[in-house]
Amino acid sequence: MDFTSLHLSLSNILPEISVSLFLLIIVSYDLIFSEDKKLIPYIALLGLVVTGYFVVANMGLTASAFAVTSVNSGGMVAIDPFSSYFKLVIIIASIIVVFFSMSSKEIKDIYKRSGEYYALMYGMLLGMLLMVSAIDLILIYLAVELLSLASYVLAGFTKLRDRNSEASLKYIIYGSAASGMMLFGISILYGLTGVTNLYEISTALQTTQINLYTLSFSVILIFVGLGFKISAVPFHFWTPDVYEGSPLPITAYLSVASKAAALALLVRFVRTTFVGSVDSNGFWVLFSLFDWQTLLIVISLFTMTLGNLTALWQKNLKRLFAYSSIAHAGYLLLGLVVLSDTGIFAMMMYLLAYLIMNLGAFYVVMLISDRSGSESIDDINGIGFTTPLLAVPLTIFLVSLAGIPPTFGFIAKLNLFIAVIDANLMSVLIIALLNVVISVYYYSRILKHMYFHKVDESTLTIKVSKIDTTIVLVLAILIIYFGIFSTSIYEFVKNSVKFF
């Protein structure tokens, strides 16, 4: 085999290398200093910052790694603005989640095991970073499994409540079924084309005669694996239970970062494998083997409608946000539905907005439930008057989730809808918009609990530490700031819609 260009490949995957190194550092620190774990979160933060630096340094780069001419000319890993963007999003989410974990009561209770906790988080991170840039079926599967295994453990990590174990077990059962199907799909696809690199598969699909039914079967199986991670209907059943049972930082992490990684992988899979060319308006010309659009429209609309309708009845805040995150997965898929670069642009923008507002909302919910010990919606009754420092940011996050101006959430939704109109999918647009109206109802219900209830003895007054206040306020201010001055975000996302 030809390894002459290995050093070039290594310099292209510096972020992944950095994550692996810090993973090792955390594990060894945990072994050496078995009593004092105070520094571990800070090491984790440092690692994220270093990784983030490497990602930013690679931002404009377009290259591939581990291309071996004789075996695999396309390479294993693609480094392009698209993947760098998603890596950055995932790292930002991870940084916020580390802060989450540092102030979460659930995680403080397992102080002794925090080494494992952060090591596993890094495992998830490594899986996700590989997922967003993998262009080889084998690496895709490995990355997805790495992410999954680490997150199964983390979902049940605290072991303090029965629900923890329940969440973990449910996640494993659903997850292994889904990844089993995905692996089956991958093997069929390999059988059909004889190659594992996505670009080579694309060429093979265009040049050779392939049975459409077999191909569709394998593609749908692969989609099951990814749909599971995105929590798209009908692969969403695990979501509410796992979100409710997991420690809150992990719930937040799953709802944002792992969703982002799976979406990126899905986009890359469709874009690389099935798109023949991109026309002058940015629309993708699929060589018509498999009808992606119909499949995605159905999945996306069902996802958002079911998520929103079920969220209406929830009394548990975590469950409510779990269903709301299912609905948002539907909106995110809308960006892929249109099969155009405009759509991907809108989706990437939406993801950034979703990251800030959803993590912000979860952060506030965590601070409240740490104090009250449960996550019932009645816990927040009247806190608008006793704890405005949490209630006002939460209001901003909710307004943004509902897509009301002047917030980042509105700008993001607007771009999605612009993409959908641009593709002339009027009926899809109308269903999506009706969904927005439905979602307003349950978001406003949270507002109602916060502000419309009388303040009495049962009303919580929550003391918030300075650092928590700062994080929440910064997130809330970002939401408003990007809602009014979105030019910089437009520029940034626009430059990131470039594929290898």
Partner 1 sequence: MQGFPLLTLLIFIPIVGMIVVLLLPKNADNNVRYTTLGVTALQLVLAAVMMLNFDYSAGGIFEASSFQFIEKVRWIEIQNVAFLGTVKIDYFLGVDGLSAPLILLSTIVFFIATLSAWTIKKSPKGFFAMYLLLNAATMGVFVSLDFFLFFVFWEVMLLPMYFLIGIWGGPRKEYAAIKFFIYTMLGGIFMLITMIGLYFSATELLADGTRAYTFNLLALMDQSNYLADGILSASNPENWRMLAYIGLFAAFAVKIPMFPFHTWLPDAHVEAPTPISVVLAGVLLKLGTYGILRISFPIFPDITRELMWYIGLFGVINIVYGALAAMAQKDFKKLIAYSSISHMGYVLLGMASLSSTGLNGAIFQMFNHGTITAMLFLIVGVIYDRAHTRGLNDFGGLANQMPVYTGFVTVAFFAAIGLPGLSGWVSEALVFVGAFGVESIRTLTIIGMLGILLGAGYMLWTLQRVYLGELPDKWKNLKDLDKRELAMLVPLAIITVVLGIFPSIVLDIMTTSVNSLVEFLATTLN
Q: Minimal distance in Å, beta carbon 362 to partner 1?
A: 22
Backbone angles phi, psi at 409, to 5 degrees: -60, -35
Q: Minimal distance in Å, beta carbon 375 to partner 1?
A: 22
Q: Minimal distance in Å, beta carbon 480 to partner 1?
A: 11
Q: Identify which of 381, 121, 386, 368 has the alpha carbon closest to the alpha carbon of residue 254.
A: 121
Nearer to partner 1, 255 or 340 (CB): 340
Q: Which of 80, 244, 341, 379 is close enough to bind partner 1 by CB under 8 A?
A: 341
Q: Which of 217, 302, 481, 490 is close enough to bind partner 1 by CB under 8 A?
A: 490
Work out the angle between the directed axes of helices 341-372 and 317-337 (0-180°, nearest 10).
Answer: 170
Q: Give CA–CA dist 350/343, Å, rounded.
A: 10
Q: Does 491 bind partner 1 (CB under 8 A)?
A: yes
Nearer to partner 1, 155 or 390 (CB): 390
Q: Which stretch binds partner 1 (CB under 8 A): 9-17, 58-66, 130-138, 445-453?
A: 445-453
Work out the angle between the directed axes of helices 162-193 and 238-245 (0-180°, nearest 10).
Answer: 140
Q: Which stretch binds partner 1 (CB under 8 A): 88-96, 236-244, 261-269, 414-422?
A: 414-422
Q: Does 417 bind partner 1 (CB under 8 A)?
A: yes
Structure tokens at 415: 């771009």
Query: Which three-class secondary structure string do you get for 384-413?
Result: HHHCHHHHHHHHHHHHHHHCCCCCHHHHHH
Q: Which stretch binds partner 1 (CB under 8 A): 188-196, 233-241, 275-283, 302-310?
A: 275-283
Q: Identify which of 102, 93, 96, 149 has the alpha carbon closest to the alpha carbon of residue 124.
A: 149
Q: Which of 344, 412, 428, 462 is close enough to bind partner 1 by CB under 8 A?
A: 344
Q: Minimal distance in Å, beta carbon 262 to partner 1?
A: 22
Q: Which of 452, 458, 461, 470 is close enough to bind partner 1 by CB under 8 A?
A: 452
C-alpha atoms less than 13 angstroms from C-alpha of 440 in its C-beta half-sphere:
10
Q: Identify which of 138, 118, 115, 139 has the alpha carbon closest to the alpha carbon of residue 128.
A: 139
Q: Which stretch binds partner 1 (CB under 8 A): 44-52, 53-61, 84-92, 427-435?
A: 427-435
Q: Are 462 and 369 in contact (CB under 8 A)?
A: no
Q: Are 255 and 325 in contact (CB under 8 A)?
A: yes
DSSP 454: P
- Under rule CB under 8 A, which residues in 389-408 are in contact with partner 1? 399, 404-406
Q: Which stretch binds partner 1 (CB under 8 A): 63-71, 217-225, 257-265, 337-345?
A: 337-345
Q: Does 309 bind partner 1 (CB under 8 A)?
A: no
Q: Identify which of 58, 14, 91 has the alpha carbon closest to the alpha carbon of residue 496.
A: 58
Indicate the residue type of 63.
A
Q: Are 24 and 115 in contact (CB under 8 A)?
A: no
Q: Which of 41, 47, 75, 282 is close enough to bind partner 1 by CB under 8 A?
A: 282
* 206 contacts: CB under 8 Å, gap ≥ 6: 276, 287
Q: Give CA–CA dist 304/337, Å, rounded.
A: 13
Q: Minimal distance in Å, beta carbon 434 to partner 1?
A: 8
326: left (phi over 0), alpha (psi -120 to 50) or beta: alpha
Q: Give whole-number Cα distances, 37 to 90, 115, 124, 129, 500, in Å.
A: 25, 7, 21, 26, 41
Q: Which of 212, 312, 437, 467 is close enough to bind partner 1 by CB under 8 A?
A: 437
Q: Give CA–CA dist 158/310, Å, rounded.
A: 28
Q: Does 473 bind partner 1 (CB under 8 A)?
A: no
Q: Minimal distance in Å, beta carbon 498 to partner 1?
A: 10
Q: Does 275 bind partner 1 (CB under 8 A)?
A: no
Q: Minimal distance in Å, beta carbon 332 to partner 1?
A: 16
Q: Does 418 bind partner 1 (CB under 8 A)?
A: yes
Q: Minimal distance in Å, beta carbon 42 to partner 1?
A: 34
Q: Which of 214, 281, 458, 461 is close enough to bind partner 1 by CB under 8 A?
A: 281
- Contact letters (x/-) for partner 1, 356-385, by CB under 8 A? -----------------------------x
Q: Which of 280, 427, 456, 457 is close enough to bind partner 1 by CB under 8 A?
A: 280
Q: Does 440 bind partner 1 (CB under 8 A)?
A: yes
Indicate the residue type of 427.
S
Structure tokens at 180: 């089993």
* 260 contacts: CB under 8 Å, gap ≥ 6: 86, 89, 90, 93, 128, 132, 351, 355
Q: Does 448 bind partner 1 (CB under 8 A)?
A: yes
Q: Which stretch binds partner 1 (CB under 8 A): 137-145, 279-287, 316-324, 360-368?
A: 279-287
Q: Does 414 bind partner 1 (CB under 8 A)?
A: yes
Q: Does 433 bind partner 1 (CB under 8 A)?
A: yes
Q: Give CA–CA dist 167/76, Å, rounded.
A: 33
Which positions touch partner 1 (CB under 8 A)? 280-282, 340-342, 344-345, 385, 399, 404-406, 410, 414, 417-418, 421-422, 424, 429-430, 433-434, 436-437, 440-441, 444, 447-448, 451-452, 485-487, 490-491, 494, 497
